[in-house]
Amino acid sequence: MTIGCIGAGSWGTTLGVYLAERGHHLLLYVHDAEQKHLLQTTRENRLYLPGIPFPATLEVTGDVKSLASSEVLLIATPTQFIRNTISPLSEFDLSRSLIVNSSKGIERGTLMRVSEIIADVLNVSLTQIVSLSGPSHAEEVSRSDPAALVAGSSSLTSAEQVQNLFNSETLRIYSSDDIIGVELGGALKNVIALCAGIVDGAEFGDNTKAALITRGLAEITRLGVALGARTETFSGLSGLGDLIVTCTSRHSRNRYVGEQIGRGRKLQEIIDEMSMVAEGVTTTESAFELSRSTGVEMPIVEQVHQILFEGKETRQAITDLMTRSTKPENW
C-alpha cells in the first residue's frame, strides 16, 4: 500500500519506519525544509529518533499535497497544528482514503477531538477515521519492545482495517468502536501526567502518585461518559494503560514538564527549551473548559490549570485537593 504520514517527530517517524519495514511505500511529510534535507541525506531522524535507519521504501517529502493519493493517511502532528497542516489536502477527494490519527489532544478554542478536526477540515466521514492510541513511547516501539494499542473508530470495520495493518509480533492492536473514549483517554491522561510530574518534582512519594493516578482516572471517566464515551473504555489501553505509562515513564514529555514545575521552574521557560511538544499543557486548558461547560467536577484538572496558568503554588494546590469535602470512592 501507499501510506502518507503527516508528521516527522518521534512518533510519526517510528510509525513510518514500522510500516515501511513491512513493505509499504511510506511517504513521510516534513514541513521544515532544513529538516527534510537532513532526513533525505542521512536517512534517519537524528533530531527525534537517532540510530533508527530508514528502510528503502520510506520516501521523505516536503509537499503535503503529494500525500493526497495515499490509500492510508497517517496523522502524527501535535493537535494544535493539525488544522493548518492538513488544510492543503482539503481540495482533494479523500472519500476512499483510510485516515489514521495518532495524535492525542483537544483543539484549543473549538474543543474538538482530533477525529472531529480531521472530518471538519477534509470533509470526510467520521467512519473513515481511526484513532490509534495506548501506552506507546516511540523510543520503545522503535526498538521493537512489545507493546499494545487500540484502534478506535465509529466504524468497527475501519478499526479492524487499522488493526490488520499495524498488528505484528511486536505491536498488538485491539479494536474498538468507542472513538470518543479512545481519543479522550489519550488526551486527558496528559493532564494527569503533568500533575504526576509535579508530584515527582515536589518530592512526594509513591502513595501520592498512586492516589493521583487513581483519582485522575475517575475524573477522565466522568468527563468521557458525559461526552458520550463508554465507561469500560477508560479501563483499557487508551485509558488506564496510557495513563500509567505517561505518569511514570522517563520518556514522558508531560511528566517531565510537571516535574520541572514541581521543582519551582516557570512553564514558559520549560517549554522554550524543549524540542518536542507536551500536549498536556494546551489540553489542560481544553479540559478545564469542558469541565465547566459540562458541569463535570474535575478537581485535579482545576488545580493543574491554576498551577500552570494562574501562578498557584504546588503545595497549596495539593493541600486544597486533600482538604476538600469528603466523598464516596465511586464519585
Q: Which residues are catalytic?
A: 189
Q: Which of 94, 252, 279, 277 is nearest to 183 (CA)?
A: 279
**What is the distance between the alpha carbons of residues 243 and 246, in angstroms, rounded to a whole number?**
5
The torsion angle over the Cα atoms of residues 292, 298, 300 and 303, rounded to 10 degrees, is 30
Q: Are 179 and 131 in contact (CB under 8 A)?
A: yes
CA distances from 284 to 24, 184, 187, 220, 221 (A): 37, 12, 9, 12, 16
Q: Which of 250, 234, 246, 74 is nearest to 150 (CA)?
A: 234
Q: Are 106 and 112 in contact (CB under 8 A)?
A: yes
**What is the identity of the amino acid at 9?**
G
